[in-house]
Chain A
Amino acid sequence: MLNIEKLNKSYGTNKALTDLDLEVKKGVIFGLLGPNGAGKTTLIRIINQIIDGDSGQIYLNGETLAPKHISQIGYLPEERGLYKKMKVWDQMLYFARLKGLSQIDAKSKIKFWLEKLEMSTWRDKKIEDLSKGMAQKVQFISTIIHNPPLLILDEPFSGFDPMNAEIIKNEILELKGNGTTVILSTHRMESVELLCDQVAMINRSRKILDGTIKEVKSSYRPEVFSITIDQNKQPIPAEWAAKQEDSSYHFTLPLSGKTPNQLLHELMEYGEIAQFREVIPSMEEIFIQQVKSTENG
Chain B
Amino acid sequence: MDKIWLVIQREYLARVMKKSFLLVTLLTPLIFPAIMGIFVWIAVEEKDNQSLRIIEVIDDNDLFFLESSEQYAFSFSNLQEEEAKELVQNGERFGFLHIPNFDLKDPKGITYYGEENPSMNLISYLENNLKKKIEEQRLFESGIDPKIINEVRTKISIKSITLDDQGTETVSDATVNYAIGFLAGILIYMFIFIYGNQIMQGVIEEKSSRIVEILVSSLKPFQLMMGKILGIAAVGLTQLVIWIVLIGTLTTVVTGFLGMQMPQQQAMQMANADLGQSMSNSDIGEILQVLSGINVTEIVLCFVFYFLGGYLLYGALFAGIGSAVDAPSDAQQFMLPVTIPLIVAYMGLFVFVLNDPNSTTSFWLSIVPLTSPIAMMGRVSYGVPGLELALSMGLLILGFLGTTWLAGKIYRIGILMHGTKPTYKTLWKWIKTNN
A45, A48, A81 — which one has the most chain B CB atoms within 10 A of its CB? A81
Q: How many residues of A contact B (CB 8 A)?
A: 27
* B10 A94 Cβ-Cβ under 8 A: yes
Q: A167 to chain B: which residues have CB within 8 Å?
A: none
Q: Which residue of A lies closest to B212 (CB)?
A: A81
Residue of B nearest to A98 (CB): B218
Whether A83 lies near B211 (C-beta < 8 A) is yes
Minimum CB–CB distance from B411 to chain A (whole Å) comes to 13
B10, B219, B435 pick with most chain A CB within 10 angstroms? B10
> Closest residue of chain A to B18, judged by CB?
A85
Q: Which of B14, B210, B435 is the one whose CB lies under 8 Å from A77?
A: B210
Interface centre among A45, A77, A85 (most CB of B within 10 A): A77
The reply on B416 being an interface residue by CB < 8 A is yes
Provide the B1-19 mask, 1 if CB < 8 A to any CB of A, else 0. Answer: 0010010001000100000
A50 in contact with B216 (CB, 8 Å): yes
Interface: A117 (CB within 8 A): no
> In the complex, are the beta carbons of A52 and B209 less than 8 A apart?
no
Closest to A74 in B: B217
Is the Cβ of A50 less than 8 Å from the Cβ of B217?
yes
Interface flag for A195 (CB, 8 Å): no
A31 CA to B215 CA in the complex, in Å? 24
Judging by beta carbons under 8 Å apart, are B213 and A79 in contact? Answer: yes
The 6 closest A-B CB pairs, nearest first, are A81-B209, A81-B210, A98-B218, A48-B217, A75-B217, A77-B213
**Do residues A45 and B214 form an inter-chain contact, with CB atoms below 8 A?**
no
Asked if B435 and A95 sit within 8 Å, CB to CB, the answer is no
Q: Is the CB of B214 within 8 A of A142?
A: yes
A52 to B220: give the CA distance in the assembly, Å.
Answer: 12
Q: Are B6 and A51 in contact (CB under 8 A)?
A: no
Are the C-beta atoms of B211 and A81 separated by less than 8 Å?
yes
Docked-complex contact B6 and A83, CB < 8 angstroms: no
**Other 8 A-B pairs with CB < 8 A, given A50-B216, A83-B14:** A51-B416, A51-B435, A73-B217, A79-B418, A81-B210, A95-B218, A97-B6, A142-B214
Q: How far is the CA of A84 from the CA of B416 in the complex (A)?
A: 20
Report the bound CA distance from A254 to B347 in whole Å.
Answer: 84
Known interface pairs A94-B6, A97-B6, A98-B3; A75-B214 also in contact (CB < 8 Å): yes
The answer on a CB contact under 8 Å between A80 and B210 is: yes
Residues of chain B whose beta carbon lies under 8 Å from any beta carbon of chain A: 3, 6, 10, 14, 209-211, 213-220, 416, 418, 435
A216 contacts chain B at the CB level, 8 A cutoff: no
Q: Name A53's closest neighbour in chain B (CB-CB).
A: B435
Interface residues of B, dominant DSSP:
loop
Tell me, rounded to whole Å, the shortest Cβ–Cβ distance linking A141 to chain B. Answer: 12
Q: Which of A75, A82, A94 contacts B209, CB < 8 Å?
A: A82
**Known interface pairs A81-B209, A98-B6; A50-B416 also in contact (CB < 8 Å):** yes
CA of A99 to CA of B214, assembled, Å:
10
- The answer to whether A86 has its CB under 8 Å from any CB of chain B is yes
Closest to B224 in A: A98
B218→A99 contact, CB < 8 A: yes
27 contacts between A and B (CB under 8 A): A45-B416, A48-B216, A48-B217, A49-B217, A50-B217, A51-B435, A52-B435, A70-B217, A70-B218, A73-B217, A75-B213, A77-B214, A80-B210, A81-B209, A83-B209, A83-B211, A84-B209, A85-B14, A94-B10, A95-B214, A95-B218, A98-B3, A98-B6, A98-B218, A98-B219, A99-B218, A143-B214
Q: Which residues of A contact B219 (CB under 8 A)?
A: 70, 98
Give the CA-CA distance A98 to B223 in the complex, in Å.
11
Residues of B within 8 A of A50 (CB): 213, 216-217, 416
Q: Please, which residues of chain B bring their CB within 8 A of the CB of A94?
A: 6, 10
Chain A neighbourhood of B213, CB < 8 A: 50, 75, 77, 79-80
A79 to B213, CA, bound (A): 8
Interface residues of A in 41-78 (CB under 8 A from B): 45, 48-52, 67, 70, 73, 75-77
* Partner pick for B211 among A73, A82, A97, CB 8 A cutoff: A82
Give the chain B neighbours of A85 by CB distance below 8 A: 14
- Min CB–CB distance A24 → chain B (angstroms): 17
| Minimum CB–CB distance for B262 against chain A, Å | 50
Q: Which residue of A lies closest to B208 (CB)?
A: A81
Contacts of A48 in B (CB 8 A): 216-217
**In the assembly, what is the distance between CA of A84 and CA of B206, in Å?**
10
Q: How far is the CA of A1 from the CA of B159 in the complex (A)?
A: 82
- Given the complex of chains A and B, what is the CA–CA distance between A203 and B21 in angstroms? 51
Specify the chain A residue showing the minimal Cβ separation from B207: A81
Chain B hits for A83, CB < 8 A: 14, 209, 211
**Nearest-Cβ distance from residue A116 to partner chain B, whole angstroms:** 21
Chain A nearest CB, measured from B217 CB (Å): 4
- Across the interface, which residues of B come within 8 angstroms of A79, CB to CB? 210, 213, 418
Let me know if A86 and B6 touch, CB within 8 A.
Answer: no
Please name all residues of chain B whose beta carbon is closer than 8 Å to the beta carbon of A81 when the two chains form the complex. Answer: 209-211, 214
CB distance from B7 to the nearest CB of A (A): 8
- A80 contact from B214, B216, B416, Cβ within 8 A: B214
